[in-house]
């Protein structure tokens, strides 16, 4: 039995219901490719709206049809099913972020979405988790593009020319909240990656980055900050980022990500971390079809 299968078995035996993230019974979601056209439009603030005292004056208008066409949202006929599945995924994340008592985790409102290797479905998971969290009545979500080598979030939402994370790390006179871009999805905003830098790893490892992360997390006590991270086994930036957050969501593609890869990725994260596995394209037959699963691992292991 593979590590992915054992994690899923552990989840089932613990009494947690399966969390089905598939867009179809036998999902064949396409890999992310650079689309010929942007999947979003960057608009000036709509006339008649009141701009906040912080944040960019521009608004990202998300093109859901293009997101679906590029495999980043489920088809419309599966959207309700996907929404139900992500409700199960986000509940423990919310509990660790803003819950009271033993469920709350230090810096739990800072969440890193990572994978062991490229092509695991991390961008899909980041976008859908962010949109699901934005539906909560008392929670807002900020999606931060921290995937420096391949900033798919920034490109997907047409924010390549907007200042972002790397800019505010370089310039201490900039305010990070001024760079946050709103979207037409209520409760969802985005911080793009910004202008690329050859010293990106050093910027992420700086005291300034820790200050920025804390500022993003404390600006709004009901905000959850999702950092879309590079793959853990391919870059060192993600390992630096892992030290700043309270929760880590590790996207694992069943049948592709080997047990050794997952174990090695988890070993980089250290002991005693709040780690969740999102099992992607894991086909296990049940009476109702196939499902994916979310298995939390508070000990930093999944066995």
Query: Where residue 178 sits, what CATH number does that domain have?
Result: 3.40.50.300
Q: Could you give the count of Cα atoms lying within 13 Å of 242 in the half-sphere of its Cβ?
A: 27
Question: What is the pLDDT averaged over residues 177-182?
Answer: 94
pLDDT score at 141: 96
Q: How many domains does the chain have?
A: 1
**Is residue 16 predicted with pLDDT exceeding 70?**
no
Q: How far apart are CA 116 and CA 265, in angstroms?
A: 6
In a domain, 283, yes or no: yes
pTM: 0.78
Task: Specify if 168 maps to a domain.
Answer: yes
pLDDT-wise least confident of 2-6, 141-145, 235-239: 2-6
Residue 298: its pLDDT value, please? 42
Under the banding of pLDDT at 50, 70 and 90, the label for residue 278 is confident
Residue 49 forms part of a structural domain: yes
Query: 153 by DSSP, 3-state: which?
Result: helix
Please tell me the predicted confidence (pLDDT) of residue 247.
94
The boundaries of the domain holding residue 275 are 3-297
Mean pLDDT of the residues in the chain: 75
Q: What is the mean pLDDT of residues 191-204?
A: 89
Domain assignment present for 141: yes
* For residue 200, pLDDT beyond 80: yes
Does residue 227 lie in a domain region? Answer: yes
Q: What percent of the chain has pLDDT over 90?
A: 34
What per-residue confidence (pLDDT) applies to 149? Answer: 87
Contact 247, 283 (CB under 8 A): no
Q: What is the pLDDT of residue 85?
A: 76
Which tens digit of pLDDT belongs to each residue from 91-109? 889 999 988 677 788 999 9
Task: Examine residue 303 and state whether it is found in any structural domain, yes or no.
Answer: no
Instruction: Please state the φ and ψ torsions of residue 179, each to the nearest 5 degrees.
Output: -100, -5
Whether residue 302 is contained in a domain is answered as: no
Report the alpha-carbon distance of residue 220 to residue 139 in Å, rounded.
Answer: 9
Evaluate if residue 283 carries a pLDDT over 60. Answer: no
Which has the higher per-residue pLDDT, 238 or 26? 238
Predicted confidence band of residue 87 (pLDDT cuts 50, 70, 90): confident
Q: Where do the DSSP E strands lie in the chain?
A: 40-44, 58-62, 110-115, 140-145, 181-183, 188-191, 223-228, 247-253, 274-280, 294-297
Is residue 263 in some structural domain?
Answer: yes
Q: Which of 30-39, 170-179, 253-262, 292-301 has the lowest mean pLDDT?
A: 30-39
């Amino acid at each position: 039995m593979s590590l992915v299968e054992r994690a899923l078995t552990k989840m089932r035996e613990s009494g947690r219901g399966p969390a089905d993230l598939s867009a179809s019974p036998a999902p064949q979601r396409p890999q992310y490719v650079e689309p010929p056209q942007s999947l979003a439009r960057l608009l000036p603030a709509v006339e008649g709206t009141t701009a906040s005292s912080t944040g960019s004056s521009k608004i990202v208008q998300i093109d859901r049809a293009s997101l679906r066409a590029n495999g980043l949202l489920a088809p419309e006929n599966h959207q309700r099913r996907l929404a139900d599945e992500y409700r199960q995924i986000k509940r423990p994340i919310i509990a660790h972020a803003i819950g009271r008592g033993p469920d709350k985790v230090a810096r739990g409102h800072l969440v890193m979405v990572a994978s062991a290797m490229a092509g695991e479905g991390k961008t899909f998971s980041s976008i859908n988790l962010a949109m699901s969290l934005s539906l909560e009545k008392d929670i807002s979500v900020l999606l931060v593009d921290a995937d420096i080598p391949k900033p798919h979030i920034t490109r997907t939402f047409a924010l390549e020319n907007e200042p972002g994370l790397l800019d505010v790390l370089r310039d201490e006179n900039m305010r990070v909240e001024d760079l946050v871009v709103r979207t037409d999805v209520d409760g969802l905003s985005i911080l793009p990656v910004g202008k690329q830098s050859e010293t990106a790893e050093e910027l992420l490892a700086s005291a300034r980055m820790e200050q920025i992360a804390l500022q993003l997390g404390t600006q709004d006590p009901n905000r959850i900050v999702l950092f879309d991270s590079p793959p853990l086994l391919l870059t060192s930036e993600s390992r630096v980022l892992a030290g700043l957050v309270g929760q880590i969501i590790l996207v694992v593609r069943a049948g592709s990500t080997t047990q050794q890869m997952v174990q090695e990725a988890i070993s980089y994260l250290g002991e005693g971390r709040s780690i969740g596995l999102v099992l992607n394209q894991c086909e296990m037959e049940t009476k109702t079809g196939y499902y994916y699963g979310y298995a939390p691992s508070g000990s930093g292991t999944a066995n």
